[in-house]
Structure formats: structure tokens, C-alpha cells
Structure 1
Amino acid sequence: MAYEKCLAVLSDPTRRAVFEHLRSGPAAAGDLARHFPVSRPAISQHLNTLLDAGLVEVERRGTQRIYSIRLAGLEALRSWLDGFWETALANYKEALERDEHGDQ
């Protein structure tokens, strides 16, 4: 999944909050719905969108579907963000080296 899709999926505040709630551990849609002022079907739709994007995975336990974060789904986003740090650190190193050598 490209980082653009990850950003688009997580741009919805409720969906992002559902995703962040899963940081505390796996949960069923019904359990998640208790924490939000939206209906259970709405939470299920958000979870399906997260699932389609590869950001969560689902496991069947009896009649329940348990959702959890799929860390591999964040790889593209993390890579993209790391690129900013790599550029910033490279620029910082160049600035230090210029200053060290008296270059302006």
C-alpha cells in the first residue's frame, strides 16, 4: 500500500480514532463502538475501510470478528516519513561541515 492511501484512509477523524484505539489491543467492532458517538454499523464501515487499506487485520473468534493493527500496513507511511528525517539530517550534517570548514 502506498503512503498516499494510508494518509487518505487515516484522514477521517473517526476512522483515525478507531485506528488509534486499537493501539491498546485487539477489539471487536461492538467493543469499539461503545467508545464512539457513532453507530456500530458506522464503526464496521470504518473497520472495513481500514481492512481494505491493509492497516488492520481481522481474526474470527466464534461469532466475533476481532480487529487489530497490522504494523506491516504502516511500512509505506513510515518509509515516507523517514525520508523527511533523512533529508533533514543530511542537510544538518552539511551545515555542520560547512561551519566546521569556515564555508559560508
Structure 2
Amino acid sequence: MQGYWQTDLDPCIKAGVMADWADELEDWPAPQVKWALREWRRENPRRKPNPGDILGVLKKRRGDEYAKRRMAVQEPEPRREAMTSEQHAALMAELEQKFPGIIKRASEVDG
């Protein structure tokens, strides 16, 4: 992360800085952190990020993706019209032919 912002850091200071970054970003996969660093550089070319800045980019992206999924409009299922008594009778006759002895009419079940 030192890039062109600062010359060589003392090894102890560099180790502390790296530990801070690692602690802050340990829950995020490396490819996502890499993406966030590039995103930060594109949006803030003259500012050096700190771990909290990168964490903010990651959380914003996660929130944006979550909101996009939640807000996706799903087409409602079209309402089906109720079956007429003629359609019902035709369907029952067809089922009785396909499955003789299995399909019973309501009058046979109740009575």
C-alpha cells in the first residue's frame, strides 16, 4: 500500500500497518479486497486509503447488491380463471377414462 506515497517504512512500522490491514479485512476474500482497493483508487486517485476506507467500499457494495436483489420486481403469476362446471365435467370424464376405478365423483364419495 505504500506505493508512491511514501518512501521506505521502518520494518516494525510496516509490520504494524500490515497487521492493522489484515485484522480489519480478514473476513473478506482476497479478490474482493483487491477489487475494493482498485475501486478506491479509481474514485480517489489522490488519497491514500486506510483499512476503514476499504471496508466501507466493501460494505457499500454488499449493501447495494442486497438492495438490488430485494428490489428486483418479480412478475406476479397471472390469475387463472375458475373452471366452469362444463370444464370440470370434461376434465372428470377424461380422468375417469385414463384412470378407471380410481377417480370417484363427489356424489360417490359422500353418499
TM-score range, shorter chain: under 0.3
Higher share in strand = 1
Larger Rg: 2
Q: Which has the higher contact order (CA 8 A, sep 6+)?
A: 1
TM-score (norm 1): 0.28
